[in-house]
């Protein structure tokens, strides 16, 4: 007799267990990659989000007329949204559908969080915990020195133990500040005649656009109906100012209110420099434009300081403008370019080289003039590696602006003054424009898209991401002095 064959039916596969193992393995890979190269991880996450938004903007459902938005226009809008810039090559109020406007609103919230903070949150979601590696990634958003090899002093504004509180502050401040500003704006919109539901939606859009320092406007009329409305302008300027301070500063001030803990030098330097630049900018705009009938010269004398202060606040990276910048005095434009290039605070929704970078450069110059070896501020010594980082950020920022301006002049046939203004506005993710952006050819849209991307990612983060490896130098070369100045 022949022995019956064994059944050839395969054993059932544990698909659930296999899926869990795959997810766990992918999570470990991402966790390791984020730990060893946090800058690259941040750039990949940030760029992937921009490409995702570009794809969404190209869908027919995103446009008001149901057509496909050209790639360069969708890319420019996605970069401007995620980089919280506010520049636009299309009419933002009429081009996009309700779904498109919602994606703009959501994109501003995502972009406001910050590159490395966003990367740490994504890593924590994948690994289901906020461990040391995620904290290191998030800490790099407030201290770019962490992107390099070697020990980092914890005697700074944001310590690793504060990272959980910083991430909480990011989420809570976005909700609370935007809601408070929206509640102040909505009654004004109702008085202007908007229906209740439209006033609510537009109120939150205005508040989000202001706090994230983006500058997008929900209506086709823009800010023109409120050009002489002190209440509306004050609400928007306050939101821009708070957003430009930076989440570490908001966290430190909140902690100081609760515990009276000592305020760090970073917070003091950010606040003092921001206020000083705001006052100097307002005074400069007031006196330079006071006799210009095309801008604030035609306004009531009592309202001119309001407009000057509002425009000074917008150079922090706000992007709203109640005057036609094309009619402004060239001296005013130059002053605004300088303020835009500086921008707001570190780890904030604002762009630029940051106010603390400018402060460090001036403090170093004062120390050199007085013959003091150390850079000092508020009774503390600032290490030299911070000065080296400030110089690097400033030089790389100036290089990016120069290359962008030259490229616009060559490929888009743009005059020098307009090219420089748009390039600085894009790099500083400010959004102020002379009107050139809406008339840019396709090449110009790509140039400014790259400029906005570099400005938001950050020169230090990008440099660290491009570095193939970080080597520890075990020797020092012989010293030789050169002539400087």
In this model, does residue 366 exceed pLDDT 80?
yes
Instruction: Report d(CA 274, CA 356) in Å as an integer.
Output: 9
Q: What is the mean pLDDT of residues 142-167?
A: 50
**What pLDDT does residue 474 have?**
72
Q: Is 426 exposed, middle or buried (0-12, 13-18, 19+ CB in 10 A)?
A: buried
Least confident stretch, 146-155, 252-261, 418-427? 146-155
The answer to whether residues 60 and 66 touch, using CB atoms and an 8 Å cutoff, is yes
In this model, does residue 9 exceed pLDDT 70?
no
**What pLDDT does residue 483 have?**
77
**What pLDDT does residue 147 have?**
46
pLDDT in tens, 60-87: 999 999 999 999 999 999 999 999 999 9
Instruction: Report d(CA 282, CA 233) in Å as an integer.
Output: 14
Residue whose pair of structure tokens reads 């609103």 in the numeric block? 105
In which band, very low, low, confident or very high, does the pLDDT at 44 lie, cut at 50, 70 and 90? Answer: confident
> What is the Cα 138 distance to its own chain's centre?
15
**What pLDDT does residue 479 have?**
81
List the one residue out of 337, 463, 456 whose CA is nearest residue 392: 463
Query: What string of DSSP letters covers 146-158?
Result: GGSSS---S-SSS
Higher-pLDDT residue of 240, 483: 240
Higher-pLDDT residue of 467, 253: 253
Helix (H), strand (E) at residue 20: helix 15-36
Residue whose pair of structure tokens reads 């002379």 in the numeric block? 434
Collapsing DSSP states into helix, strand and coil, what is residue 160? helix
Mean pLDDT for all residues in the chain: 83
Instruction: Report d(CA 424, CA 353) in Å as an integer.
Output: 11
Instruction: Report d(CA 466, CA 131) in Å as an integer.
Output: 25
Instruction: Please name the residues in contact with 475: beta carbons below 8 A apart, sequence gap of 6 or more.
Output: none
**What pLDDT does residue 253 have?**
87
Q: How is the chain split among helix, strand and coil, in percent rounded to 5?
A: 65, 0, 35
Residue whose pair of structure tokens reads 């790259």 in the numeric block? 450
Instruction: Report d(CA 376, CA 42) in Å as an integer.
Output: 33
Say what percent of the chain tops pLDDT 90: 50
pLDDT in tens, 379-398: 888 888 888 888 988 999 99
List the one residue out of 57, 104, 61 whose CA is nearest residue 83: 104
**What pLDDT does residue 469 have?**
46
**What pLDDT does residue 226 have?**
92
List the one residue out of 192, 236, 190 whose CA is nearest residue 211: 236
In which band, very low, low, confident or very high, does the pLDDT at 23 lie, cut at 50, 70 and 90? Answer: low
- Phi and psi at 5, nearest 5°, equal -70, 145
Please list the residues that pair with 96 across neighbouring strands. Answer: 63
Q: How many residues does the chain have?
A: 485
Instruction: Report d(CA 122, CA 103) in Å as an integer.
Output: 19
> What is the Cα 33 distance to its own chain's centre?
24
Collapsing DSSP states into helix, strand and coil, what is residue 96? strand
Q: For residue 1, how many other CB atoms are within 10 A of its CB?
A: 3
Instruction: Report d(CA 355, CA 83) in Å as an integer.
Output: 19
**What pLDDT does residue 458 have?**
73
Least confident stretch, 93-107, 110-124, 243-257, 313-327? 110-124
Helix (H), strand (E) at residue 333: helix 330-342
The answer to whether residues 321 and 223 touch, using CB atoms and an 8 Å cutoff, is yes
The residue extents of the domains of the chain are 29-135+162-468
Q: What is the mean pLDDT of residues 327-345?
A: 94
Say what percent of the chain tops pLDDT 70: 78
Q: For residue 477, how many other CB atoms are within 10 A of its CB?
A: 6
**Sign of the dihedral through C-alpha 289, 292, 296, 297:** positive
Higher-pLDDT residue of 439, 68: 68
Instruction: Report d(CA 192, CA 170) in Å as an integer.
Output: 32
Q: For residue 324, how many other CB atoms are within 10 A of its CB?
A: 12
> What is the Cα 13 distance to its own chain's centre?
48
**What pLDDT does residue 27 have?**
62
Identify which of 23-27, 132-136, 242-246, 310-314 has the greatest average pLDDT. 310-314
Query: What string of DSSP letters covers 390-446?
Result: HHHHHHHHHHHHHHHHHHHHHHS---HHHHHHHHHHHHTT----SS-GGG--HHHHH
Structure tokens at 364: 């170093």
Structure tokens at 366: 């004062």
pLDDT in tens, 201-231: 999 999 999 999 999 998 888 899 999 999 9
Q: What is the mean pLDDT of residues 331-360?
A: 92
Residue whose pair of structure tokens reads 């109120």 in the numeric block? 203
Residue whose pair of structure tokens reads 């940051």 in the numeric block? 354
How many degrees, rounded to 5, is the angle at CA 62 between CA 61 and CA 67? 70
pLDDT in tens, 91-146: 998 999 999 999 999 999 888 876 556 655 555 554 444 444 444 444 444 455 44
In this model, does residue 277 exceed pLDDT 80?
yes
Instruction: Report d(CA 127, CA 26) in Å as an integer.
Output: 9
Instruction: Report d(CA 419, CA 424) in Å as an integer.
Output: 9
In this model, does residue 155 exceed pLDDT 80?
no
């Amino acid at each position: 007799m022949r022995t019956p064959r064994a059944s050839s039916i395969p054993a059932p596969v544990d698909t659930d267990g296999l899926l869990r193992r795959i997810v766990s393995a992918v999570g470990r890979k991402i966790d390791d990659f984020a730990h060893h190269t946090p800058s690259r991880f941040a750039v990949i996450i940030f760029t992937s989000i921009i490409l995702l938004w570009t794809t969404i903007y190209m869908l027919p459902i995103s446009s008001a007329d149901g057509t496909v938005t050209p790639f360069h226009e969708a890319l420019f809008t996605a970069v401007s949204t995620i980089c919280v810039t506010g520049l636009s090559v299309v009419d933002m109020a009429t081009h996009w559908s309700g779904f498109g406007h919602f994606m703009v609103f959501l994109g501003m919230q995502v972009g406001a969080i910050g590159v490395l903070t966003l990367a740490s949150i994504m890593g924590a979601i994948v690994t289901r915990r906020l461990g040391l590696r995620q904290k290191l990634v998030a800490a790099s958003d407030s201290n770019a020195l962490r992107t390099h090899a070697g020990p980092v002093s914890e005697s700074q504004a944001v310590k690793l133990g504060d990272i959980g509180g910083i991430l909480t502050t990011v989420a809570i401040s976005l909700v609370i500040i935007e809601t408070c500003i929206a509640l102040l704006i909505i009654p004004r919109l109702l008085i202007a005649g908007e229906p209740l539901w439209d006033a609510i939606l537009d109120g939150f859009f205005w508040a989000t656009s202001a706090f994230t320092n983006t500058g997008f406007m929900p209506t086709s009329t823009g800010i023109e109906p409120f050009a002489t409305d002190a209440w509306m302008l004050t609400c928007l300027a306050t939101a821009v100012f708070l957003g430009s301070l930076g989440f570490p500063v908001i966290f430190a001030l909140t902690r100081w209110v609760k515990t009276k803990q000592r305020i760090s030098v970073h917070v003091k330097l950010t606040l003092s420099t921001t206020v000083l630049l705001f006052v100097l900018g307002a005074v400069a705009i007031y006196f330079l434009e006071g006799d210009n009938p095309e801008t604030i010269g035609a306004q009531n004398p009592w309202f001119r300081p309001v407009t000057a202060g509002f425009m000074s606040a917008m150079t922090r990276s706000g992007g709203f403008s109640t005057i036609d910048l094309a009619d402004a005095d060239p001296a005013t434009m130059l002053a605004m370019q300088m303020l835009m290039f500086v921008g707001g605070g570190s780890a904030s929704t604002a762009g630029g080289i940051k106010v603390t970078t400018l402060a460090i450069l001036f403090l170093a110059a004062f120390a050199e003039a007085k013959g003091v070896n150390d850079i000092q501020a508020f009774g503390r010594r600032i290490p030299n590696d911070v000065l080296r980082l400030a110089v690097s950020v400033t030089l790389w920022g100036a290089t990016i602006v120069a290359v962008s301006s030259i490229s616009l002049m060559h490929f888009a046939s743009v005059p020098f003054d307009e090219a420089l203004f748009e390039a600085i506005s894009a790099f500083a993710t400010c959004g102020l424009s002379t009107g050139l952006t809406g008339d840019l050819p396709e090449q110009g849209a790509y140039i400014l898209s790259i400029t906005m991307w570099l400005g938001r990612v950050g020169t230090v983060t990008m440099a660290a991401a491009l570095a193939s490896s970080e080597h520890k130098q075990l020797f020092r070369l012989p010293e030789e002095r050169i002539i400087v100045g």
